[in-house]
Structure 1
Amino acid sequence: MHSEAQTFDRRPAAAAWLKKREKDLEVPGAIERERGSRHTLGMAIARYIEESEKAIGRTKSQVLKSIMADEISLLPCDRVDSPRIVAYLHSLDAKPQTRANYASHLAAVFAVARPAWGYPLDREAMRDATTDGSAPPGHHRQEREARA
């Protein structure tokens, strides 16, 4: 079952919206995609912080909270792609090693979001984003160690 609400000033506008939404949702898998888009990157980060089995350090916590305060955290998980991650990392007024730390800590969230909670964060997007030079050599090794 799927439900959503929208408010309109005029009945014809409401009827047109309803007709379009019904047509959009008839496509196989459309409802599942709609459900997936309800989770934002910020929600994934918050859940990661809340549910981390190992106590995360002060620095990691501060970095993740800083990411949550940025507009990228408002994006639905399924819309967080490598160009957006790269743009976010490059928007940081920081040294390359600091950007790499942000990428590394964010990669830890990407590593668990889909398998643990079903949040549609794409690990490949994170990997692709860190191959453009925003992360130093060895970043992917650190990501693998974070998953262990």
Structure 2
Amino acid sequence: MHVLLFDDPAIRPHLLPFTFTRPVAALRCGILTLAEKWQRRLGAPAVGYLTQPYLQAKFPAGDVAGPALLLNGAVCPDDLLVRQVQALGPGQGLYCDEVLVAAHLADGSQIAELIQDGLGEQKQVAEPVTVISRPWHLFLRNGAELRRDF
């Protein structure tokens, strides 16, 4: 299954200037970048990025055909969240209030349809998640994420 990290359009502008040169998931908080945290916790061989067109050459989406997990690149994963993401069935989405945290797509090439039509079934996370939505969140969460990354 492909793992695709997307830049939430409601969050990315608030993380400028950092996100001028990299996707949100490529930001470092703790030892690892947000993408590395997801990759490690999910045991994925690689991750792809859905970001601004001018960044896609350096941060490619990769092969999007076939089943895919679509993950919000601004969310810091923890064990409970990873279990909830892994339990998603095709067509299901996981939300924290109004923020899309994750979606399981039967075919990663259906991303345009997802954006236009939404998901079939929406679930709420069991506990609030850590979302890096402002530059200072990287610094405020750094200590906790350092301990979590070890």
What TM-score do the two structures reach when normalised by structure 1? 0.29
Q: Which has the larger radius of gyration?
A: 1
The structure with the greater share of residues assigned to strand is 2
The structure with the greater share of residues assigned to helix is 1
More RCO (CA 8 Å, sep 6+):
2
